């Protein structure tokens, strides 16, 4: 990103080309500030409007701009002559205003889009005028990486000599707004910004200005861009990081820690209030030791990653919801020893063949196993005695295409068969009647009395007494 304040002596402007669009001539200006450059397109009339302001307010000579021409102003020869004249004009004005760089000239050259200082002036004005309304009405505020980078870099600067006296342009308006933002969204990009050579995902920024943030959403931003999370470990409640090519959780949880190892588990790096983590659509292949940095975690979403097995996360005593859909699980062995008192698990779109590993998850209320490889209805025997289970998804498994699939599944839940919601639908009375018949046949075959008959016999005995 451009930093004109630091690279004045290494800044140039050139009108390099004339372009025709819809029979209108535009002049392409190339602005370079250090290694950063961008292009700006302006018509001749834009130069005239700028010149009038510069003459009126900033002492630019009135006869410096090449004059208008009414006729034959579209010929290639004239256009090229005008380009050369405008190039000389722009260079002279740029040299004359190099130290002051008035707002009108900066905007004409798009410094407000690509330069740290001038972008922040516009942002400060916007937040001065609209900040309170934004804080009141927005569910989540979105800052661009350029804005965050500019804010971070501005902290490193002394007060620039081109700082506007007008109160609305003061940097403090930005800091005040950031300190009050409670929900923040950041979206990255590897595409060049506008007509510049700036790639947002190559810029660094920190989050130290956000003192009250409780919700953070990061989309497509490499973790290497974030240099510090400031006080977020004290305030953040919900964190989402998507499409960021994250391989391990510690890439964010320890983003500002140089040596990421278990010795880093000091109180200073614990996320004290973080209860919701969503790292969907990344490249995570293992839930590593860094999960212990989030002791209050209640919801963990790792869908669309590369996980093949679950490590021991029983240290997360408050964890209730676990989303591992669209990963690479094929076996789930002894999960009761790994995840504690879990309430809801989503393992849809994996390659799971057996339900045996869920047989002792006694607090489980919801289990989504849609789109897996379960082909035997008898697998339900492993989970039919879970006392809290109410919601079960087996849709799009091979077993779901078998004859009387729903009835055969529901029947195995015995006295609780009417309570089970299978594939988002509770059993109909017809299905329940059929399931009771199947259950009776099964239990008679095993030489036992069906549960619903036991209940009936008990009531008859009571009536006789």
Q: What is the mean pLDDT of residues 123-138?
A: 94
> What gap in Å lies between CA 104 and CA 314, rounded to an integer?
61
Mean pLDDT computed over every residue of the chain: 91
pLDDT digits (tens, 9 = 90+) for 278-314: 999 999 999 988 899 999 999 999 999 999 999 999 9
Share of the chain above pLDDT 90, in %: 80
- In whole angstroms, what is the distance from residue 245 CA to residue 137 CA? 32
What residue ranges in 92-155 does DSSP mark as E strands? Answer: 141-144
Kindly report, residue by residue over 323-370, the tens digit of the pLDDT. 999 999 999 999 999 998 999 999 999 999 999 999 999 999 999 999
d(CA 182, CA 190): 27
pLDDT of residue 14: 97
450 vs 16 pLDDT, higher one: 16
Give the helix ranges, DSSP H, for 291-360. Answer: 336-339
Buried b (16+ CB within 10 A) or exposed e, 286-316: ebbbbbebbebbbbbbbbbbebeebeebeeb
pLDDT grade for 454, boundaries at 50, 70 and 90: low
- pLDDT score recorded for residue 69: 72
> pLDDT tens for residues 384-399?
999 999 999 999 999 9
- Lowest-confidence region among 175-184, 192-201, 384-393, 429-438: 429-438
The pLDDT of residue 443: 78
What proportion of the chain, given as a percentage, has pLDDT over 70? 93
Assign 163 a pLDDT band (cuts: 50, 70, 90). very low
Mean pLDDT of 66-75: 75
- 152-161, 259-268, 325-334: range with highest mean pLDDT: 325-334
Burial of 37 (0-12, 13-18, 19+ CB in 10 A): middle
Across the range 398-425, mean pLDDT stands at 94
Residue 160 has pLDDT above 80, yes or no: no
pTM beyond 0.95: no
Residue 460's pLDDT is 45
Identify the H or E element spanning 240.
Answer: strand 238-242
Which are the contacts of 354, defined by CB distance < 8 A and separation ≥ 6? 331, 332, 374, 379, 382
Rounded distance between C-alpha atoms, residue 395 and residue 402, angstroms? 11
Please report which confidence band the pLDDT of residue 450 belongs to, taking 50, 70 and 90 as the band edges.
Answer: low
Distances (CA, A) of 306 to 59, 352, 362: 64, 14, 27
**pLDDT score for 172:** 92
- Tell me the torsion sign for CA atoms 361, 366, 372, 373: positive
Quick one: which H or E segment has residue 228? Answer: strand 226-228
The token pair that represents 22 in the structure block:
């819809």
The pLDDT of residue 215 is above 60: yes
pLDDT above 80 for 86: yes
Residue 116 pLDDT greater than 80, yes or no: yes
Q: What is the mean pLDDT of residues 241-249?
A: 95
Q: Stretch 204-223: mean pLDDT, rounded?
A: 96
Predicted confidence band of residue 463 (pLDDT cuts 50, 70, 90): very low
Over its C-alpha atoms, the chain yields an Rg (Å, rounded) of 33
pLDDT, one tens digit per residue, over 4-46 is 999 999 999 999 999 998 889 999 999 999 999 999 999 999 9
Q: What is the mean pLDDT of residues 76-84?
A: 92
């Amino acid at each position: 990103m451009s930093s004109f304040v630091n690279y004045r002596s290494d800044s140039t402007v050139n009108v390099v080309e004339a372009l025709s669009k819809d029979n209108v001539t535009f002049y392409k200006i190339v602005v370079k500030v250090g290694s950063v450059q961008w292009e700006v397109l302006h018509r001749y009339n834009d130069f005239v409007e700028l010149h009038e302001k510069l003459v009126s307010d900033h002492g630019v000579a009135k006869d410096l701009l090449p004059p208008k021409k009414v006729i034959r102003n579209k010929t290639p020869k004239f256009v090229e002559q005008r380009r050369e004249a405008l190039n000389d004009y722009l260079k002279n004005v740029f040299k004359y205003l190099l130290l002051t760089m008035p707002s009108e000239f900066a905007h004409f050259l798009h410094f407000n889009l690509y330069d740290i200082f001038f972008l922040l002036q516009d942002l400060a004005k916007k937040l001065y005028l609209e900040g309170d309304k934004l804080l009141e009405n927005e569910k989540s505020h979105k800052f661009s990486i350029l804005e965050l980078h500019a804010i971070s870099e501005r902290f490193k600067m002394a007060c620039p000599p081109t700082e506007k006296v007008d109160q609305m342009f003061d940097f403090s308006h930005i800091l005040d707004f950031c300190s009050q933002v409670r929900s923040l969204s950041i979206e990255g990009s590897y595409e060049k910004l506008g007509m510049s050579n700036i790639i947002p995902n190559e810029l660094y920024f920190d989050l130290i200005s956000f003192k009250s943030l409780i919700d953070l959403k990061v989309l497509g931003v490499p973790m290497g861009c974030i240099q510090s999370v400031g006080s977020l470990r004290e305030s953040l409640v919900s964190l989402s990081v998507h499409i960021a090519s994250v391989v391990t959780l510690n890439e964010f949880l320890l983003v500002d820690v140089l040596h990421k190892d278990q010795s880093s588990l000091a109180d200073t790096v614990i996320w004290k209030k973080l209860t919701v983590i969503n790292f969907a659509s990344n490249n995570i292949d293992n839930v590593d030791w860094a999960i212990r940095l989030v002791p209050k975690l209640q919801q963990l979403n790792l869908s669309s990653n590369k996980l093949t097995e679950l490590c021991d996360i029983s240290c997360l005593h408050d964890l209730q919801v676990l989303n591992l859909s669209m990963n690479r699980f094929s076996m789930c062995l002894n999960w009761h020893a790994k995840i504690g008192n879990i309430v809801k698990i989503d393992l849809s779109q994996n390659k799971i063949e057996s339900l045996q590993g869920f047989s002792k998850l006694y607090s489980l209320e919801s289990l989504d196993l849609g789109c897996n490889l379960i082909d035997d209805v008898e697998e339900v025997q492993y989970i039919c005695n879970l006392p809290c289970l109410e919601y079960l998804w087996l849709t799009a498994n091979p077993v779901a295409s078998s004859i009387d699939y729903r009835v055969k599944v529901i029947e195995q839940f015995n006295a609780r068969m009417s309570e089970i919601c299978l594939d988002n639908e509770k059993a109909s009375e017809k299905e329940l009647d059929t399931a009771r018949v199947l259950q009776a046949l099964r239990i008679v075959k095993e030489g036992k009395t069906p549960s619903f008959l036991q209940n009936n016999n008990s009531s008859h005995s009571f009536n006789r007494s």
